[in-house]
Structure 1
Amino acid sequence: MFFDINEYYFYCVALTQNITKASEEIHISQPALSKAIAKLEQKLDCQLFYRNQKGVKLTPAGEILFEGVRQSMDIMDNTVKQISQINYSDYGEVNIGGGDDLFTYFMIPVIREYHNLYPNVIVKETLYSNSEQTIGSLLQKDIDIGLLNKYVECDRLEFRKISEMHEVVVAGERYAALAKLGTLDWGMLTEFPILLHPRITHTRKLFDDKMKEIGVQVKASLEVGSTTVMIQLALEGFGLAVVSKEIAQMDNRYTQLTELPMAQPLDARDTYVAWNKEKEMPSCLRNLIECISQKSK
């Protein structure tokens, strides 16, 4: 923060490197501005500018003071920005973190509606590989809202269920004939290449736990983090794909796939939106949470 107005005058002169130009920009007479600089130099007991016919140039002491005042200006700008976010719902910035699939399935329709209501709010997207990374960023207050495939007990976080997902096995033309065999056992599918989510994801962990419960060992021929890519690989015959039906159905190519009937369907799983209760919540963020709540009903 500024100690006195003379530091602000100094900052303006340093930016323009010309006292006359600075006086015109801040609407103060040139003699008054020169007097303010001289008063500041007297206070600090050092010379802040080298003066010549073309203008002024910072001395080493002036450069040190300029950097300090610049940081104060940045702090002030950020403070004003935070205040505006609290008081004005039409402005601000929100940062949403999560996996690519949940963004595609859930947040795109929400952001579309939110942007229509609050076009001046900047919405940023931060992608993470798994829910653990998203939770970590929420706790560090790096993001405002997190999209999660799991719920965790944490007093610092507020969770809200947004949807229920169902994992299904789909096949492209190469393996579509398997559906004609009727209800399939998981053991039968181990004879074919299978596309699964990466091991670090919660979705994959639930799948592996289910296979362990059934007593079947399924080894992924490919681990793919994106449902969009998984659909493409399945269509090209790389193998069967285990996908979240609700997400996969948003892809127009899903109709080209065949869903295989399984004797032991995978358990449904819940997805959540969460935020840090200790993080300041401006109006623009509260409004986004309201849009999310409406979408999840």
Structure 2
Amino acid sequence: MIIKIFYAKINLFMEDHKLKVFCTVAETRSFSKTSEIIHLTQPAVSLQIQALEELYETKLFDRSSGSINLTPAGEILYKYAKQILTMYAEAAKEISKITGLIKGCVKIGAGITAGNYILPAIAVDFKKRHPKIRVSISIGNDKKIIEMLNTSLIDFGISSEVPGKNKYTVEPIISDELCIVCPPDHPLGNQKSASIFDVIKEPFVLREEGSSTRFVIEKFLAEHSLSVSDMHVSLILGSTGAIKEAVERGIGLSIVSKWAIRKEIACGNLKIVRLKEGKITRDFYIVLPKNTILSPAVEEFITYLRNYTYADLL
């Protein structure tokens, strides 16, 4: 009896895994992307699909046009496979409530600021409470985060931009302030506050066009009938770390997230210039595909994010 139960569990896992591979191929329309998501080689992905096609004695994908599309039989299997995988996820959640044991993997996609300066500390604290849960953080711009969500490379994203609300669930999780920073010996660093109209006369180091930080800066300037062309831009750099280094070396001022400069401010390597016109702010959001069933591990991490004391990081 014990041996029968053991083999039944193995068979259940194997069929579950095949269905995950099949659904991922159906959603990404790519064996290579599926290989990356599922962490299998492409030949192994092909073998999983071949096994299902042999089981049902029919083709599940049509590859004749150079693209990968579901056949009518594949459409039927995809419909029921999604229902089966949803039931597996719901069963895992119910069982974890009874046992109190949560394990699995949490895959997060985050922007540069959240991914480099906020999430690492949170992930470390989370792991101390849940050592059996693996946490993976992929860093990219907001467009990349949406691409990773659409291809199931991540469970959820942390983004500063709000994507289409018809397709995604969006929840504000933490606020951010973009601060004007200068070297410690700069005259503006000793003033109580300064006007944006005076500050923009100084040399500036900025992020490249298209970055979310640059977008927020441009929006703030527009609110005061200004633009980047009104600034004295001396250097454009593609990372926050490079910008901080440039400002510390005295090439100019910059505008960066408060989360990215907390160590430099504490050490006295940078100073914040307060604006008379008020703060430059934005929010970070949790972004999820609508109607997705979250694993117990992912739900636990999102709950942890909601209740985290972010002020402790500053």
Return the TM-score normalized by structure 1. Answer: 0.64
Q: 1:161 aligns with which of 159, 172, 188?
A: 172
- Which moved further from structure 2: 222-231 or 89-98? 222-231
Q: Do the aligned partners of residues 291 and 183 (structure 1) sit closer, same or farther apart at CA in structure 2, a change above 3 Å counting?
A: closer
Aligned letter for 2:119?
M
Q: 2:222 aligns with which of 207, 212, 218?
A: 212
Percent identity of paired positions between Structure 1 and Structure 2: 18
Aligned letter for 2:294?
M
- Could you say which residue in structure 2 is the equivalent of 1:257? 270
Distance in 2, matches of 1:93 and 1:292, equals 16
- Which moved further from structure 2: 223-232 or 279-288? 223-232
Q: Indicate conservation of the 8 Å contact 1:101/1:226, yes or no.
A: no
Q: Indicate conservation of the 8 Å contact 2:115/2:138, yes or no.
A: no
RMSD: 3.2
Distance in 2, matches of 1:208 and 1:280, equals 37
Give 1:251 shift.
4.6
Distance in 2, matches of 1:187 and 1:223, equals 21
Q: Indicate conservation of the 8 Å contact 1:134/1:148, yes or no.
A: yes
- Could you say which residue in structure 2 is the equivalent of 1:237? 250
Structure with larger Rg = 1
- Could you say which residue in structure 2 is the equivalent of 1:184? 194
Aligned letter for 2:201?
E
Task: Give unpaired runs (5+ residues) of structure 1.
Answer: 6-63, 74-78
Distance in 2, matches of 1:268 and 1:189, equals 18
Distance in 2, matches of 1:133 and 1:68, equals 29
Distance in 2, matches of 1:283 and 1:275, equals 15
- Could you say which residue in structure 2 is the equivalent of 1:272? 285
Give 1:112 shift.
1.4
Distance in 1, matches of 2:256 and 2:267, equals 11
Give 1:180 shift.
4.6
Distance in 1, matches of 2:175 and 2:253, equals 23
Distance in 1, matches of 2:108 and 2:264, equals 22
Q: Do the aligned partners of residues 155 and 254 (structure 1) sit closer, same or farther apart at CA in structure 2, a change above 3 Å counting?
A: farther
Q: 2:209 aligns with which of 182, 196, 199?
A: 199
Q: Indicate conservation of the 8 Å contact 1:194/1:221, yes or no.
A: yes
**Residues 12-161 of structure 1: pairs in structure 2 closer than 5 A:** 68=47, 72=51, 90-128=102-140, 130-161=141-172
Q: Do the aligned partners of residues 232 and 136 (structure 1) sit closer, same or farther apart at CA in structure 2, a change above 3 Å counting?
A: same
Distance in 1, matches of 2:250 and 2:103, equals 48
Distance in 2, matches of 1:68 and 1:271, equals 41
Q: Do the aligned partners of residues 251 and 233 (structure 1) sit closer, same or farther apart at CA in structure 2, a change above 3 Å counting?
A: same
Distance in 1, matches of 2:192 and 2:129, equals 49
Distance in 1, matches of 2:142 and 2:119, equals 16
Q: Indicate conservation of the 8 Å contact 1:96/1:144, yes or no.
A: yes
Q: Secondary structure at the match of 1:220?
A: strand
Q: Indicate conservation of the 8 Å contact 1:85/1:91, yes or no.
A: no
Give 1:228 shift.
3.1
Matched pairs, number? 224
Distance in 2, matches of 1:278 and 1:95, equals 18
Give 1:146 shift.
0.6
Q: Deviations over 1:190-214 (max 9, x none)?
A: 3332122222122211211221232
Return the TM-score normalized by structure 2. Answer: 0.61
Distance in 1, matches of 2:285 and 2:47, equals 44
Q: Do the aligned partners of residues 124 and 172 (structure 1) sit closer, same or farther apart at CA in structure 2, a change above 3 Å counting?
A: same
Q: Indicate conservation of the 8 Å contact 1:158/1:277, yes or no.
A: yes
